[in-house]
Structure 1
Amino acid sequence: MNWFDVVSAACLVTGCALSLIAAVGLIRFPDLLSRMHAGTKPQVFGLLLILVGIGLRLRDWSDVGMLLAVAMFQLLTAPVAAHMVGRAAYRRGAVRRDTLLVDELTPVLEAERRD
């Protein structure tokens, strides 16, 4: 057993734990914005750690290239999707505005309505 296997196993276990934490957060968190946070940040980082662990284990350039493509696609799509879901939920009134620390969208939406 070499150090690649040890680092790979650590990345895989940590990535799986973060993905599990994201799943529990989706079930346990009370509101939409908290669930969105749980569904994107730990899940994306967990997937990246899993991909690093697989890449260290396989060590073949064609496989690593495919893993990089998956990682880039995930990094590009997950934040954009979460942003769009949050913005749509805010516009529909599904977000509790009393829990927001900063509300930058209300003045923008009011300015759009006036125009």
Structure 2
Amino acid sequence: MIEFIKGTFVIAGALLMLLASLGILRLPDLLTRMHATTKAAALGVILVMLAVAMHFAEVGVAARAFAIIVFILMTAPVAAHIIGRAGYFVGSKLWSGTVKDELRPNYDPLTHELKSGHETEANARREPKESDPS
């Protein structure tokens, strides 16, 4: 039974990594490609590492596999976020089917300044105080 589970994990992990590589080739823009790679590839690596830990059934190997899983879970989303933002800021074109661009009202491409959503909402709702010169 354990052999079946290990085989299932390895095959599922390999298929997810294959799906991630197809996503890189087929998806239309940087942001959707990164979504495919971070989700599918990370889950694929996690499944393969679980199979490795089960196959060797040693504390040292299981600890290393667990460390790799934690490392992937911590770094993949952060790296994708940073690369996605950098791609957006340098002018990477969005897919024509993109419905919502939440950065556009908060990003000034001339000064490369980014305002948080809270700042723009607060400025829009702010009423002039009596001490304001206007």
TM-score range, shorter chain: 0.7 to 0.9
Q: What are the superposed Cα offsets for residues 48-76 of structure 1, whole Å, 9 maximum, x if unpaired?
A: 11011111111111110000111111111
1:107 corresponds in structure 2 to 105
Between Structure 1 and Structure 2, which shows a larger proportion of helix residues?
1
1:12 corresponds in structure 2 to 10
Paired with 1:12 and 1:82, the residues of 2 have a C-alpha distance of 25
Q: Which runs of 4+ in 1 moved over 4 A?
A: none
SS at match of 2:2: helix
Please list every run of 5 or more consecutive structure 2 residues that lacks an aligned counterpart in the other structure. Answer: 116-134
**Alpha-carbon shift at residue 103 of structure 1 (Å):** 2.1
Larger Cα-atom Rg = 2
After TM superposition, the score normalised by the length of structure 1 is: 0.87
Comparing both chains, which one has the higher relative contact order based on Cα–Cα distances under 8 Å and sequence gaps of 6 or more? 1
- Give runs of aligned pairs for residues 1-115 of structure 1, distance below 5 A: 3-96=1-94, 98-110=96-108, 112=113
**Alpha-carbon shift at residue 27 of structure 1 (Å):** 1.2
Q: What are the superposed Cα offsets for residues 84-104 of structure 1, whole Å, 9 maximum, x if unpaired?
A: 111011111103275333322
After TM superposition, the score normalised by the length of structure 2 is: 0.75
**Alpha-carbon shift at residue 106 of structure 1 (Å):** 2.1
Kept in 1, the 8 Å contact 2:28–2:95? The answer is: no
